[in-house]
Chain A
């Protein structure tokens, strides 16, 4: 095989070459396989939940089973899918290439993070096989420490380990961006995907240790009866909520910031235009990361937290919505005078704008204390966070996966099926979750196995939508898998997009670039690239 045809996929085929790889691209593939597996498992639990909720009586599974289903759905989707998905797969694969580096700053730590993540997955799987866990993904005390008879500790260890994996990924992103940028690639020439992952790294490193501490304290109380959270042992149950949300609210930004980074890449590539207000969008990522640390109490307006603390949390939650809104406006403005294609990744990106807008605005409603006291812990909240975390994050992940699929695999996916499934996802998603807003205001509490009859019709709509949504997720699984063998071979830049990742071959060579690139362009400067191209094609010396 000639050196030019060697890439990161075909340089070695052995199992060891995958399991012991320190190539960020191969680690991304390991993450891709694992997060897909956990997503399917979490999705299966979601399907069972939606089937149970078709009828008001709790008749398909027992209450205890139902409680395990929604707990495992939440644990898997949050700790094992949403948090690692975009950073683990797209971030790992693209971040070094986008900054012209050969690999991450710490390739071995990068591999270690995947192993730690899988170890966390094993603890979770062990708990599941032994009968599961029924605390909800939030592990609220004293239920989790003194009342639940399920595998709380091993699930918590699973979450704890997944958290450590996330910390290592974050450290790698931060150091890589600081140390390994190609010559000429100044901070304000970085793709916004890199900015977003940098901001995500900050949250991962600073917030995740608090989750670890919280889970250790919870385990200490459950295993050794040390009174920390259970009032019967002299503890304070609300303290747990403060600690838990101090991590778990920023965790929402660990999920959404990388998705926003993907969005900035998609919108610019498929409008062939520099992003509107580059610096504002970059600064918005960092602002969200910082303010995101100060809003956790908005989960606790009715928890018996001080009402005055509630007022401050409500105020700060409003502030954090501003940079998110600004991003939406900037993406929209980027379309103006662009060259907008309706390719699959762009369909996902446009869908993201719609779903994220609804998710964000209902978030503002929830931050409004007077509204929250009614809809807190109802399906309104369920609908809201699915709009943000599934509607937006998953749309961005799928859009990004399609956009960079030719780069990752060297193959093109079938366009027809891709567009069909993008449409199914958008329609199915809205049909599933929009009725839940209505259910929430009507008063249907979340985590209900059985419910009063008057809620049935809306639940049936939601379950019907979920089946469309499920189909929308399954089709890409099939054709993407198919395309790896049968898809057309991709050129190095099939969408004529802008960015260092498109200047190397598809799939990239092991060290990403044969020569270290020298960056002379601003990010996404399609117009300047066009001018340069025209200058090259015109006869020298006689432009007139």
Chain B
């Protein structure tokens, strides 16, 4: 048994000190109130202890002002905690615009990661220090929860939708990753590590692991071709579906006149349930890919479609064929 055990978690993200400050305030309130109430109860129970068997307490006089005081003061303290808590919560919810996007797929009982550069890892994620990192997460089966105590905060990882969590690590080191939502059998072994590295080391690690030949499965472009998405969603396609270049993050109008922002969830839904939200001017001709693509393949497609937006001058067909040729 290790006796030099910690009483407080590592502080390794930008969120951690802010959340800790709030926590310490909460602790202070809890400690002061508990101790004061405890002492008052003890004092009264001793001061007014029964000394004769038939002794009776004095008549109760009541006191409206007392009732109001001890309602309003706690309410005030709690409102303060509520506002502060909401502030920290929204900071934890909203990633900075320059956050690098990493992808997380959880399944019973492992974590799969993909770096923006395409590298993949299982149960261990290497990240650079000082860089905001946004995780786009989904699950292949049940609900899991992404929890790195050293970074504070957590986010559930759900099947059938994308959730996000972001952090900016402030201290190199290796930190626990836990699954915090009970997910069956080996829930307590669904653990991993987050390795935070200096930017230069991270670059070296990236190039090292790439030359080391990490097995990379089909890329988005390959899937796009293999699943014949290119038959319709390409400028030179014979059959015409909506064009995908540059649509990510933009609004599109649907056949019923409403609009939707093209994000990860919308692309996912359009692949799995194409008739749900059809873009104006198109027929619901596309077949469903429900059950044919794994969550990871879906992620690859989404990453690919996003990239089409970012690099408008790259022709998807050329990119795909050039990769296939190489």
Contacts of A337 in B (CB 8 A): 48, 57-58
Tell whether, in the assembled complex, residue B49 and residue A342 are in contact, meaning their CB atoms are under 8 Å apart: yes
B188 touches A302 (CB 8 A): no
Which of chain B's residues has its CB closest to A363's CB? B30
Let me know if B97 is at the binding interface, CB within 8 A.
no
Per the bound structure, the CA–CA distance linking A329 and B23 in Å amounts to: 25
Q: For window 230-272 of chain B, which residues contact chain A by CB distance below 8 Å?
A: none
Q: Is B163 an interface residue (CB 8 A)?
A: yes
Q: Are B49 and A368 touching (Cβ within 8 A)?
A: no
Q: A438 at interface (Cβ–Cβ under 8 A)?
A: yes
Interface size on A, residues (CB 8 A): 101
Interface residues of B in 57-91 (CB under 8 A from A): 57-60, 62-63, 66-67, 70-71, 74-75, 78-79, 81-82, 84-90
- Chain A residues near B153 (CB-CB < 8 A): 302, 373-374
Contacts of A124 in B (CB 8 A): none
B5 near A361 with CB under 8 A, answer: no
A318-B82, A368-B84 as given contacts; A63 in contact with B185, CB under 8 Å: yes
Identify the stretch in A4-12, A142-150, A183-191, A249-257 within 8 Å (CB) of chain B at 4 or more residues: A142-150
Q: What 0/1 pattern do residues 166 to 209 of B give for CB contact below 8 A with A?
A: 00000000001011111111111101000000000000000000
Known: A373-B153, A457-B5. A326 touches B67 (CB 8 A): yes
A313 to chain B, nearest CB (A): 11
Which residue of chain A has the shortest Cβ distance to B94 in the bound complex? A307
Cβ < 8 Å to B, chain A residues 225-277: 230-232, 237-238, 271-277
Determine if A340 is an interface residue (Cβ-Cβ < 8 Å): yes
A325 touches B85 (CB 8 A): no
- Taken residue by residue from 94 to 118, chain B's Cβ proximity to chain A (1 for < 8 Å, 0 otherwise) reads as 0000000000000010000000000
Q: Are A63 and B189 in contact (CB under 8 A)?
A: yes
Interface assignment of A538: CB less than 8 Å from any CB of chain B: no
CA distance A325 to B147 in the complex (A): 32
The residue from A237, A322, A333 contacting B74, defined by CB atoms under 8 A apart: A322
Give bound CA distance, A453 to B2, whole Å.
7
- Cβ of A414 within 8 Å of any chain B Cβ, yes or no, is no
Instruction: Name which of A13-21, A108-116, A444-452 contacts chain B.
Output: A444-452
Q: Is the CB of A275 within 8 A of B60?
A: yes
- Asked whether A136 is an interface residue with its Cβ less than 8 Å from the other chain, the reply is yes
Contact A370 B92 (CB under 8 A): yes
Residues of A36-72 at the interface with B, using a CB-CB cut-off of 8 Å, are 58, 63-64, 67
Measured in the bound complex, the distance between the Cα atoms of B22 and A512 in whole Å is: 55
Q: What is the CB-to-nearest-CB distance from B293 to chain A, in angstroms, rounded to a whole number?
A: 13
Residue numbers in B under 8 Å from A362 (CB-CB) = 30
From residue A307, how far is it (CB to closest CB) to chain B in Å? 5
Tell me whether A321 and B78 are in contact in the complex, defined as CB-CB below 8 angstroms, given that A335-B41, A354-B41, A441-B8 are known contacts.
yes
Say whether, besides A365-B26, A370-B92, A445 and B178 are in contact (CB < 8 Å). Answer: yes
- Chain B CB within 8 A of A134 CB: yes
Q: Is the CB of A143 within 8 A of B93?
A: no
Q: Mark A272-314, 1 if CB is under 8 A from B, else 0.
A: 1111110010000000000000000000011110010011001
Check if B34 is an interface residue, CB within 8 A of chain A: yes
A325-B74, A451-B188 known; A142-B159 Cβ under 8 A: yes
Among B122-130, B137-145, B307-315, B318-326, the stretch that binds chain A is B137-145
Interface centre among B1, B147, B188, by most chain A C-beta atoms within 10 angstroms, is B188
- A230 neighbours in B (Cβ, 8 Å): 159
A377 part of interface (Cβ distance < 8 Å): yes
Could you tell me the distance in whole angstroms from the C-beta of A153 to the nearest C-beta in chain B?
17
Are B50 and A370 touching (Cβ within 8 A)? no
B158 adjacent to chain A (CB < 8 Å): yes
Provide the main secondary structure of the chain A interface: helix
Contacts of A134 in B (CB 8 A): 184-185
User: A521 contacts the other chain (Cβ, under 8 Å)?
Assistant: no
- Indicate if the CB atoms of B160 and A340 lie closer than 8 Å: no
The residue on B at minimum CB distance from A447 is B182
Q: Does A456 count as interface, using CB distance less than 8 angstroms?
A: yes
Whether A442 lies near B88 (C-beta < 8 A) is: no
Task: Please tell me if A353 contacts chain B, counting CB pairs below 8 Å.
Answer: yes
A526 and B54 CA atoms in complex are apart in Å by 11
Q: Does B154 interact with chain A (Cβ within 8 Å)?
A: yes
Per a CB cutoff under 8 Å, which of B2, B33, B54, B159 touches A457?
B2
Is B38 close to A, CB under 8 A?
yes
Least CB distance, B188 to chain A, in whole angstroms:
4
Alpha-carbon separation in the docked complex, A350 to B85 (Å): 32
- Expressed in whole angstroms, the minimum distance between the Cβ of B231 and any Cβ of chain A is 27
- Is A274 within 8 A of B2, CB to CB? no
A371 to nearest B CB, angstroms?
Answer: 5
Say yes or no for A378: interface residue by CB 8 A criterion.
yes
CB distance from A53 to the nearest CB of B (A): 11
- Indicate whether A458 reaches chain B with its CB closer than 8 angstroms: yes
Q: Report yes or no: A442 in contact with B7, Cβ–Cβ below 8 A.
A: yes
Q: Are B176 and A452 touching (Cβ within 8 A)?
A: yes
Known A445-B179, A449-B187; contact A332-B89, beta-carbon cutoff 8 A: no
Residue B155 interfacial (CB < 8 Å): yes
In Å, the complex CA distance between A143 and B181 comes to 11
B152 at the interface (CB under 8 A from A): yes
Say yes or no: A63 contacts B188, CB within 8 Å: yes
Instruction: Tell me whether B29 and A376 are in contact (CB under 8 A).
Output: no
Chain A neighbourhood of B184, CB < 8 A = 67, 134, 143, 147-148
Given A338-B48, A370-B89, A442-B6, do A376 and B26 touch, yes or no (CB 8 Å)? no
CB distance from B20 to the nearest CB of A (A): 9
A456: chain B residues within 8 A (beta carbon): 1-2, 5
Per the bound structure, the CA–CA distance linking A91 and B175 in Å amounts to: 51
Contact B57 A527 (CB under 8 A): yes
Contact with A along B6-32 (1 / 0, CB 8 A): 111100000000110011001101100
Nearest B-chain residue to A336, judged by Cβ: B44
The answer on a CB contact under 8 Å between B3 and A365 is: no
Query: Which A residues lie within 8 Å of B218 (CB)?
Result: none
What 1/0 mask marks residues of chain A from 498 to 542 whose CB sits below 8 Å from any chain B CB?
Answer: 000000000000000000000000000111111000000000000
Note all chain A residues with C-beta closer than 8 A to B58: 273, 337-338, 527
Known contacts A307-B90, A329-B70, A527-B56; 19 additional CB pairs below 8 A are: A143-B143, A231-B161, A237-B160, A277-B67, A311-B86, A314-B82, A325-B74, A335-B48, A338-B58, A341-B49, A362-B30, A369-B85, A371-B26, A377-B182, A457-B3, A457-B5, A458-B5, A460-B1, A526-B56
Q: Which residues of B contact A (CB under 8 A)?
A: 1-3, 5-9, 18-19, 22-23, 26-27, 29-30, 33-34, 37-38, 40-41, 44-45, 48-50, 54-60, 62-63, 66-67, 70-71, 74-75, 78-79, 81-82, 84-90, 92-93, 108, 141-143, 145, 147, 149-150, 152-156, 158-161, 163, 176, 178-189, 191
8 closest Cβ contacts across the A-B interface? Answer: A443-B149, A231-B160, A370-B88, A273-B57, A368-B85, A369-B89, A338-B57, A335-B44
* Subset of 17 A-B contacts with CB under 8 Å: A140-B143, A237-B159, A272-B57, A273-B57, A276-B63, A307-B90, A322-B78, A332-B41, A335-B48, A358-B30, A361-B30, A362-B30, A370-B19, A370-B86, A370-B87, A452-B191, A457-B2
